[in-house]
Amino acid sequence: MKKAFLLALGLCFIAAPALAFHDHGVAHCNGCHTMHNSQDGVLVDPDSPNGNPWLLKDGTPSDVCLDCHAIHLGAVFANDVLDPSPMKGAGNFIFLLEDNLNDGHNGGAVDSTGAWTHAIPGDAAGHNLNAPGHGLAPDATLTTSPGGSFPASQMGCTSCHDPHGTQDFRMLYGAGRVVQGGIATFANAAPTAEGISIYAGEESPTYHTAYQGGMSAWCGNCHGDFHANGTKLIHPSGVAMGATIANTYDLYNGTADQQGGTHATAYLPEVPFEDAANGVSTTTGPSATSQVSCITCHRAHASSGPDSGRWDFNVTFLSDDGVNSGSYAIPDPYGNVNQRSLCNKCHNKDAHDANPN
């Protein structure tokens, strides 16, 4: 029996590229499931002597995923709040364990006992996960997805990624897909994009997720009217940038060089836009039809800025990030102590700006 099983496993690996597991389809079932919670007479999940719902190998769906992905294969959870793993695109859930993310005014204030008085807690770092085996819990502040109604209590890896694989970018759910046994049914398609390797390398201006389209509508599966352009007075997402803003993006090369950029080298992975022409090594700036997107300002998993910001929205100078709170400082792409908010990449309301827009 054991021999036959190993043979089947071997064949499965011969057909797949080295180290592949999901291979954009369903991986071998017992990578995640256990039928009897027993192998060689030992409990597969010692924490759950009576087994788990869904017959999983660990307590919750997210714990199962993190058993492989926490510090390897994208390392989406890392080990250390101050030393996250290399950025791949989605960002790191480790920041959910922070005690304070507030680097704005009074962010570092403490009372006579030394306790923070103006802390923004780690649950604001991004999407919280129901994964007690890794010290994570549902969001303590938000009970549903703002703009929509997805229950925060159920949030986990398999709220967004299909554990049984899809042909789409990063195995994300697409239109019509039923999530977690019926909590939600997605209305909008998975985004079109191309990711970088989860094995090696990290995000840089010449190697980054190529966001091609559909991300705003995809986030809208759970965030509903946050994506309601035109009907609410909110920042547009999933709409064309227009020639004026595209030109500002091209020229803006940081606080110290607001007009010196060029179209050929303007792409900034910290402030991405969606365009069907984007590739993982694209360095060119946007065209008038490139779209501003949720992912322009947010990371999909979490960041060390409040609201999963790609940069800290609460600081005047990026060099203030991490100073009050002691949280991880998101690297400043321009490496300038006077660098201001990256909103300026598209709007240039920077210090002494000469741009008419």
Nearest distance from C-beta of residue 160 to ligand HEC, angstroms: 3
d(CA 91, CA 155) in angstroms, rounded, equals 17
Q: Which of residues 252-311 bind ligand HEC (CB under 6 A)?
A: 271, 273, 292, 294-298, 300-301, 307-308
Nearest distance from C-beta of residue 113 to ligand HEC, angstroms: 26
Q: Which of residues 67-126 bind ligand HEC (CB under 6 A)?
A: 67-69, 73-74, 76, 88-90, 93, 123-124, 126
d(CA 339, CA 320) in angstroms, rounded, equals 10
Binding mask 28-67 for ligand HEC (x = CB under 6 A): -x-xxx--------------------x-x----xx-xxxx
Please say which residue, 71 or 114, places its beta carbon nearer to ligand HEC. 71
Please say which residue, 97 or 111, places its beta carbon nearer to ligand HEC. 97
- 288, two tokens: 């008038």
Please say which residue, 297 or 329, places its beta carbon nearer to ligand HEC. 297
Please say which residue, 113 or 144, places its beta carbon nearer to ligand HEC. 144
Residue that the structure tokens 């996960």 belong to = 129
Nearest distance from C-beta of residue 114 to ligand HEC, angstroms: 25
Distances (CA, A) of 58 to 49, 132, 134, 139, 310: 11, 10, 11, 21, 31
Nearest distance from C-beta of residue 237 to ligand HEC, angstroms: 4
- 259, two tokens: 């007009």
As a whole number of Å, the end-to-end CA separation of the chain is: 71
Please say which residue, 117 or 153, places its beta carbon nearer to ligand HEC. 153
Nearest distance from C-beta of residue 42 to ligand HEC, angstroms: 18
Binding mask 177-216 for ligand HEC (x = CB under 6 A): ---xx-------------x--x----------x-----xx
Binding mask 144-173 for ligand HEC (x = CB under 6 A): xxx---x-x--x-xxxxx-xx-----xxx-
Nearest distance from C-beta of residue 9 to ligand HEC, angstroms: 12
**Closest to 197 in 3D by CA, of 84, 81, 281, 80:** 281
Q: Which contacts qualify for 133-141: CB closer than 8 Å, 24 or more apart? A: 133/47, 133/58, 133/59, 133/60, 133/63, 133/66, 134/62, 134/63, 134/66, 134/70, 134/77, 135/97, 136/62, 136/93, 136/96, 136/97
d(CA 72, CA 88) in angstroms, rounded, equals 12
d(CA 134, CA 69) in angstroms, rounded, equals 12
Distances (CA, A) of 135 to 76, 158, 352: 14, 18, 46
Residue 315 in contact with ligand HEC, rule: CB under 6 A: no
Amino acid 312 reads: D
Please say which residue, 251 or 346, places its beta carbon nearer to ligand HEC. 346
Nearest distance from C-beta of residue 349 to ligand HEC, angstroms: 8
- The number of residues that bind ligand HEC (CB under 6 A) is 89
Q: Select the residue interacting with ligand HEC from 52, 221, 247, 348 (CB under 6 A).
A: 221
Please say which residue, 146 or 335, places its beta carbon nearer to ligand HEC. 146
d(CA 137, CA 128) in angstroms, rounded, equals 7
Pick the piece of the chain touching ligand HEC (CB under 6 A) from 25-33, 41-49, 106-114, 275-283.
25-33
Nearest distance from C-beta of residue 78 to ligand HEC, angstroms: 11
d(CA 323, CA 219) in angstroms, rounded, equals 31
Q: Select the residue interacting with ligand HEC from 213, 220, 261, 305 (CB under 6 A).
A: 220
- 27, two tokens: 């991986």
- 88, two tokens: 């791949």
